[in-house]
Amino acid sequence: MATIDDVAKASGVSKGTVSSVFSKKRPISKEVTERVLAAAKSLHYKPNYWARSLASRTTRILGLNIRGESLEFGQFHHSLLNGVLRVCYDNGYRLLVNTLSPAFLSQVENISSDPVDGEILLDPIESDGRIEERLQSGMPIVVIGRPPGPYEAQVSYVDNDNAGMAAQVTRYLIELGHTEILFLNAPVSRTVSEDRGAGYRNALALAGLRPKPELMMHKPLRGETAHAFGYEAALAKLIASPDITAVIADTDMMALGVYKAAERLGLRIPEQLSVFAFSDDSVLSPEFSPPLTGTRLHADRLGAEALQLLLEQLNAAQKSAKRVLVPTELVIRGSCAAPAARGS
Amino acid sequence: MATIDDVAKASGVSKGTVSSVFSKKRPISKEVTERVLAAAKSLHYKPNYWARSLASRTTRILGLNIRGESLEFGQFHHSLLNGVLRVCYDNGYRLLVNTLSPAFLSQVENISSDPVDGEILLDPIESDGRIEERLQSGMPIVVIGRPPGPYEAQVSYVDNDNAGMAAQVTRYLIELGHTEILFLNAPVSRTVSEDRGAGYRNALALAGLRPKPELMMHKPLRGETAHAFGYEAALAKLIASPDITAVIADTDMMALGVYKAAERLGLRIPEQLSVFAFSDDSVLSPEFSPPLTGTRLHADRLGAEALQLLLEQLNAAQKSAKRVLVPTELVIRGSCAAPAARGS
DNA sequence: CTGCGTTATTAAAGCGGTTTAATGATGCTT
DNA sequence: AAGCATCATTAAACCGCTTTAATAACGCAG
C-alpha cells in the first residue's frame, strides 16, 4: 500500500501538503490539489486509518458495549441496534460492537483502551465496573437503562419509564380482578429490575393490596436461560400458591416458559392464568397461543436517542448529564383476562 | 491518559520492556514484570489501541460491510449478525459495522483504508466495486452471497443454495397444481436474483412448462420499499393475468404487499392465491393470516460460517477461495394450497 | 524599492506504541 | 580464568499520518 510519502514524492510536494489536501484543514491551491489527487489515484493511495487516528486522536467510531457475560442478542437488542445504526449512518460514524468474552478481556496482552470516540453501554448492573472505568479515562458514554445509583447524576442515559410501566400493567391486572400476581423479574443486579419491582409494589399498595415478597422472583444473572427460568419458577410457584392468577414476566422468552408451565399444569391462558411480558418482541409470536399481551418498548428509539446524546456530548464544550425517557405503551393481545376460579 | 513512557519511567525500565510485558512477545523476568504491572496499575495505564495497531499492523477488528445504499437491516440481517457476533466473541475479535452513507464515503476528507483486519461483504451485486477494491488492497474478505461472475473463483463466499431452493419451491407449487407462477424477485443486479431466477426456470422447464418472462419481475434496487413493490407488482400482474394462481415473493415484506394486493382484489389466500416467500422471518408473522409458507435460510449459520472462513483466511499462509453452502428447508405453513378457479 | 501583511508550502516534531540490533549480565564449559 | 552461549534489557528506528512553527512567495501601499 502506498503511503503519504510516496504520494508526496510523486507529486513533488511535502507530506504536510498532501495531508492538507486530504483533510482539507488548510487551503491548498487548486493546481497543487489536483496534482496530488492525481498522484494519489494512480498510486491507489488511501490514508491509513490507524495512523490518522493516532495523530488526530479521533476515530469517528462509536462503540456499543454489551456486558461480556451476556451475548444474548434478542429482538430488543436488534431493534435497538437498528436505531443506533441509523443515527450512525446519518452522521458518518462507524459502529464498533464490543464482543469480547471476559476470558479475553482479562488477559494482560489484550487490555487496552477502547478504540472509539465514545461508547454506549447496555444493560447496566448494580456495580458496573464499566462506568467507573470510562469515567476515569474520560471516555464519553451514554448508558441505556438507568445507571446504578452513584452514577445516575453523573452520566447521561436513556431509559424507558420502567417503574411507570410496571405500575401500569400491575394496575391493569388488578382492574381485571387479579390480586395474587407473580412477578418474574429481571436479575436482582440489573437496575431495571429494581425500578420495575418498585412500580409493581407501588401499584399494589395504591390498590390497597399488600405486596408479598414471595411473589417476586428474580432470574439469576447467569446460568439458566430466561425460558428455563420462566418454566421452573412459574411451575414451582403456581404449585406452591394456587391463589396466583396472573404472571408478569420479564421477557417474552420467559413468558414462553410460563406458557409451558401452564400447559404442564393444565391451566388455560387466559381463562385460568393471565400472562404478561415486558416485551414487544414478535419474533416468537407464532409460538404464543393465545398471543401475548405485552408492552411496546420502542427499543429503536432508545438506541437512536442514546446515540444522539452521545453525539451531542462529543461536540459539546462541557458535558452535562442528560436523561431521556422513552414512553412505552401497553399492547393488549390475548393473554390476560379476568381471573376465574382455578380448576374450573 | 498515561502513556507507555510514563510507565517506563515510573518503573525504571525502557519502553521496549514495558511493551514486552504487555504484549508477551518476549520473555521478561518475573520481578520486572511485576514492577511494570504495578506501575501501570497505579497510573491507570492502558496501551493505546491505535498506536498499537499502527505499529503492529493488525487490529483484531473485523468488518461487516453492508452496501451503503441499503441500510435495511431486517430479520435476516439480524440473525446473520448474531452468527457473526458469536464467532467474534469466541475468538477475541471486535466487529465494526460499516455504516457509512455513500454521501460520506465520497467526500475526499473521508476516504481512507478501512481500519480492520478483514471484512465480510453483504449483498453482493453484479458490478460490485467493493470486491475489486479489497482485492487490490489485499484486504482479506469473505462474501455472503455469490460474488459476481469474474470474482467467483477468486474470493471465498458463503451462500444458500439459492438455485436449488427456488427450484424446490417452484416444484412444490407445480405439484400442488399451479402452472402460472408469478415470481417477484430481488433486484436484477443482486447476484441472488439471478440464481433464484435460474432455479425457478429450471423447475418449470423440468415439469414441461415454458417459463414466461413476463411472470418474473425484479424489485428496483433503490426506490420503492419491498412492501410497496410487492403490493403494486402483484396488483398489476394479477389484474393483467387472471391465470396466475401463485406468487413467489423475495422477502416476507414483499409477501405482505402481496397479501394486501390479494385482499384488495378479494382473493382468498391460499384458496385462490398461494403465496410464498424466501424468508423465515417471523418478526412480521402476526401480520400474516394465514401464516406464510417460506423457507429456513439459517442466516445465523451464514454469518458464523462466513466469519469462520475469514478467520481461517487470516491465519492461513496462502489464501484459497473456499465456498460454503448452507442448506435451506421449506417451511410449510398455511399460505399455499392447490389452486381453485378464480372468482369461485 | 523597501517593507509589511497575506497566503501557500515545508521541515520537523509529535502521536504512542512495536521491533530490531546492540548491549549487558549471567552462568557454564574447558 | 578466559571464552562463549544464553537470556534479559535497552536505545533507537520505525509505523503513517497530523500539526506547529518556520519559510517562501507574492502583492501592494508608501
The pLDDT > 70 percentage for chain A reads 96
Question: Nearest chain A Cα to B292, which residue?
Answer: A286
> Which residues of chain A are within 8 Å of residue B92 when distances are taken between CB atoms?
100-101, 104, 110
Nearest CA distance, A202 vs chain B (angstrom): 33
Protein residue at shortest CA distance from C1' of D20: A16
C-alpha closest to that of A294 among A250, A259, A256, A332: A332
Mean pLDDT of chain A: 90
Cβ distance B53 to A115 less than 8 Å, yes or no, reads yes
Of B54, B82, B111, nearest to A73 by CB-CB distance is: B82
> Which residues of chain A are within 8 Å of residue B23 when distances are taken between CB atoms?
109
Convert the pLDDT of each residue in A122-180 to its tens digit: 989 888 889 998 998 889 999 999 999 889 999 999 999 999 999 999 999 999 999 99
Evaluate if residue B82 carries a pLDDT over 60. yes
C-alpha closest to that of A289 among A251, A265, A263: A263
Among A286-290, A332-336, B88-92, B190-194, name the one with the lowest average pLDDT.
A286-290
Quote the CA–CA distance of B321 and A67 in Å, as a whole number: 36
Q: B92 is written with which cell numbers?
A: 477475541
Evaluate if residue B245 carries a pLDDT over 90. yes
Nucleic chain C: which protein residues 41-70 of A have CB below 7 A from it? 51, 54-55, 57
Residue to test with chain A: of B22, B89, B111, B136, most A Cβ within 10 A: B89
Average pLDDT in the A87-105 region? 86
Cβ distance A101 to B90 less than 8 Å, yes or no, reads yes
Read off the pLDDT band of A225 (50, 70, 90). Answer: confident
Quote the CA–CA distance of B276 and A116 in Å, as a whole number: 44
Cβ distance A89 to B71 less than 8 Å, yes or no, reads yes
Instruction: Calculate Rg over the CA atoms of chain A.
Output: 26
What are the strands, taking DSSP E only, across A9-154? 61-65, 94-98, 118-122, 141-144
Q: Which nucleotide is nearest to A27 (CA to C1')?
A: C8
Cβ distance A112 to B73 less than 8 Å, yes or no, reads no
Convert the pLDDT of each residue in A301-315 to its tens digit: 999 999 999 999 999
Average pLDDT in the A288-297 region? 88
Count Cβ–Cβ pairs < 8 Å, chain A vs chain B.
Answer: 159
**Could you give the count of Cα atoms lying within 13 Å of A303 in the half-sphere of its Cβ?**
24
Evaluate if residue A63 carries a pLDDT over 60. yes
- At B141 the pLDDT is 96
> Which residues of chain A are within 8 Å of residue B24 when distances are taken between CB atoms?
108-109
Q: B270 is written with which cell numbers?
A: 391460499
Nearest CA distance, B118 vs chain A (angstrom): 14
Average pLDDT in the A331-335 region? 90
Convert the pLDDT of each residue in B111-149 to its tens digit: 888 899 999 999 898 888 899 989 988 899 999 999 998
> Which residues of chain B are within 8 Å of residue A286 when distances are taken between CB atoms?
282, 285-286, 291
Read off the pLDDT band of A68 (50, 70, 90). Answer: low
B15 CB below 7 A from strand C atoms: yes
Read off the pLDDT band of A1 (50, 70, 90). Answer: confident
D chain positions with any atom within 7 Å of a protein CB: 7-21
Convert the pLDDT of each residue in A258-267 to its tens digit: 999 999 999 9
Evaluate if residue A74 carries a pLDDT over 80. no
**Could you give the count of Cα atoms lying within 13 Å of B158 in the half-sphere of its Cβ?**
26
- At B286 the pLDDT is 64
Quote the DSSP letter at residue B64.
E
Of B61, B110, B136, nearest to A92 by CB-CB distance is: B110
Evaluate if residue A221 carries a pLDDT over 90. no
With a CB cutoff of 8 Å and minimum separation 6, the contacts of A126 are: A148, A188, A189, A190, A191
Average pLDDT in the A219-238 region? 91
A111 CB below 7 A from strand C atoms: no
How crowded is residue B137: how many other Cβ atoms within 10 Å of its Cβ?
12
> Which residues of chain A are within 8 Å of residue B111 when distances are taken between CB atoms?
22, 46-47
Evaluate if residue B343 carries a pLDDT over 60. no
Scored b (16 or more CB within 10 A) or e, B33-44 reads bebbbebbeebe
Evaluate if residue A344 carries a pLDDT over 60. no
How crowded is residue A291: how many other Cβ atoms within 10 Å of its Cβ?
15
The pLDDT > 90 percentage for chain B reads 65
Mean pLDDT of chain B: 90
B16 CB below 7 A from strand C atoms: yes
Among A82-86, A285-289, B156-160, name the one with the lowest average pLDDT.
A285-289
C-alpha closest to that of B180 among B170, B188, B189: B170
Of B22, B44, B53, nearest to A108 by CB-CB distance is: B22
Quote the CA–CA distance of B122 and B112 in Å, as a whole number: 20
Question: Nearest chain A Cα to B95, which residue?
Answer: A97
> If phi over 0 gives left and psi between -120 and 50 gives alpha, with beta otherwise, what is residue B92?
left
Quote the DSSP letter at residue B5.
H
Evaluate if residue A287 carries a pLDDT over 80. no
- At A177 the pLDDT is 95
Convert the pLDDT of each residue in B204-239 to its tens digit: 999 999 999 999 999 998 878 889 999 999 999 999
B45 CB below 7 A from strand C atoms: yes
CA A252 to chain centre: 16
C-alpha closest to that of B184 among B75, B271, B277, B287: B277
Average pLDDT in the B319-327 region? 93
Which domains occur in chain A, in start order? 4-56 (1.10.260.40), 61-161+300-328 (3.40.50.2300), 162-296 (3.40.50.2300)
Strand-pairing partners, residue B217, are B184
Read off the pLDDT band of A117 (50, 70, 90). Answer: very high
- Widest pairwise Cα distance in chain B: 92
- At B114 the pLDDT is 85
Cβ distance A51 to B54 less than 8 Å, yes or no, reads yes
Q: A109 is written with which cell numbers?
A: 496482552
- At A23 the pLDDT is 86
Average pLDDT in the A105-111 region? 79
Read off the pLDDT band of B344 (50, 70, 90). Answer: very low
Average pLDDT in the A20-48 region? 89
Scored b (16 or more CB within 10 A) or e, B75-106 reads bbbbbbbbbbbbbbbbbebbbbbbbbeeebee
Q: A230 is written with which cell numbers?
A: 420462566
- At B68 the pLDDT is 66
Evaluate if residue B283 carries a pLDDT over 80. no
Main-chain dihedrals φ then ψ at residue B125, nearest 5 degrees: -120, 175
- At B228 the pLDDT is 93
Q: The dihedral of CA A61, A64, A65, A68: what is its sign?
A: negative
